[in-house]
Amino acid sequence: MPGGVYISIPFCAQKCTYCNFASAVFPADLLEAYLEALEAEVAAERWAEPPDTLYLGGGTPSLLDAAALERILAVLPKVRWNEATIEASPGTVRAGPWRELGLNRVSLGVQSFAPREIAATGRKHSARQVEQEVDEASNSGKLAGIARLDRAPRPAARLGLHARGG
């Protein structure tokens, strides 16, 4: 039975006050060294069976440009992913290029739609921006999910929005 692969991209534009994941704001030149180490580690993997699910988490993997994502995907087994997810923060959604790379889900980290709560988390998005990015992902045929993290100022909640088509 095929499995999945999770790849952590620990780079962030800012370290959010509620986040306890292994992530940080790193110098830009560290990204190249990280990608080289990641490519070597993935290339050395001996897959008993190629995975059919991919999850790019973080950190904020949506900060990576298409060329960096393509480098990561190039060292993975060549398969048609049943599900290939990229985590994104509001303001970093680029659904078109992701679709071209074979990524078919976006997990959009949204802590709130209320301006005061957004400010309390230190995030810089607006509810309108999230709506636009969910529309962008949905219109590109992606499944878009919105998740609030447990450490946000209010109790956690999960909302799911499904793409129209694809």
Worst-scoring range by mean pLDDT, 19-33, 68-82, 105-119?
A: 105-119
Give pLDDT tens digits for 14-40.
Answer: 887 777 788 888 988 999 999 999 999
Q: Which domains does the chain have, with CATH numbers?
A: 10-42+51-161 (3.20.20.70)
- Cβ pair 106, 85 in contact under 8 A: yes
Confidence of residue 142 (pLDDT cuts 50, 70, 90): low
What average pLDDT does range 132-157 have in this prediction?
A: 60
Give 159's contacts (C-beta < 8 A, 6+ positions apart).
146, 147, 148
For tokens 């560290």, what's the residue?
A: 30
41-73 pLDDT tens trace: 999 998 889 999 999 998 999 999 999 999 999
State the residue for tokens 């679709």.
99
